[in-house]
Amino acid sequence: MYSNILTEIDAGVGIITLNRPERHNAFDDALIGELSTAIDQMAAHPAVRVLVISSTGKSFCAGADLNWMKRAAAYTTEENLRDSRALAEMLRKLAQCPKPTIARVQGPAYGGGVGLVACCDVAIATFDVQFSLTEVKLGIIPAVISPHVIAAMGERYARRYMLTAERFSAAEAYRIGLLHEMVADDVALDDAVGEVVDALMNNGPGAMAECKALVSAVASRPLSPEVLEDTAQRITRLRASEEGREGMTAFLEKRRPNWIVGV
């Protein structure tokens, strides 16, 4: 039913694979629409506990499809805005997906491709992957990806790499926080993604969704009385929840909680 992506659900893991290798997985309106729908479906699917974003071919994602961007320049302002909003919304859905997300980065990521990596909760790449925020070279700006990129690498490095459009290595991406892990090759990449999936499968699905909401709610906010109260409210709600009670009881009874598959 999709023509630009592949989707699969296997043992609790939803996988969305960008599949436009002849265009280095650059995204146009069709790919953005499909990604948006697939993220919604994975977010709502009861069998999915973790979402992996991966790609086929040489590149992870060459960012926005420049033919599409060029076409958009001839649109009316309203049409142009609608297109840009669709991209912003797709990235928001990924960033705020209630299930944990992992970027499996097997090849270069440019422009919006860096944005996709930044939107995921965990990002793992092979050593040879290069990154670049190329937009200014093209006379445009990394606008809709910026909240995610700045959250991932911080304002200081965002300034440098957004302004210079330099290519940077996986080692640099790791150093500045865009990547969590670097591995030797595709086999090691699957192993590393598998290890993170295994860790996530042990955790309360509701608790992980609440954790994501917690991080967005408290990140970059001062330690104000409102924030203290908000955190107190959240833990109060969670420890009284069915999942919280089950998790704590299971620990004290030295058994596995009921959300672990195969209990």
Tell me, residue by residue from 65 to 104, as one string, x for binding to ligand COA by CB under 6 A and - for no binding: xxx-------------------------------------
* Out of 64, 91, 94, 153, the residue judged to bind ligand COA by CB under 6 A: 64
Cα separation, 238 vs 235, whole angstroms: 5
Contacts of ligand COA in 143-202 (CB under 6 A): none
- By beta-carbon proximity to ligand COA, the closer residue of 173 and 196 is 173
Per the DSSP assignment, residues forming a β-bridge with 168 are 131
* 100 within 8 A of 121, measured Cβ to Cβ: yes
- Sheet architecture: strand order including 167-169: 109-110, 130-132, 167-169
Which residue in the shown chain puts its C-beta closest to ligand COA? 111
Coil, helix or strand for 150? helix
Contacts of ligand COA in 42-61 (CB under 6 A): 59
Stretch that binds ligand COA, among 5-13, 130-138, 200-208, 248-256 (CB under 6 A): 130-138
* Out of 93, 100, 110, 129, the residue judged to bind ligand COA by CB under 6 A: 110
Q: Does 23 bind ligand COA (CB under 6 A)?
A: yes
**Residue 43: phi, psi to the nearest 5?**
-65, -35
Q: What share of residues in the chain are helix, strand, coil (percent, to 5)?
A: 55, 15, 30
Q: How many CA atoms lie within 13 A of 187 on its CB side?
A: 0
Coil, helix or strand for 68? helix
Nearest approach in angstroms of CB 23 to ligand COA is 5
- By beta-carbon proximity to ligand COA, the closer residue of 28 and 210 is 28
Residues near ligand COA (CB under 6 A): 23-24, 26, 59, 62-67, 108, 110-112, 134-135, 138
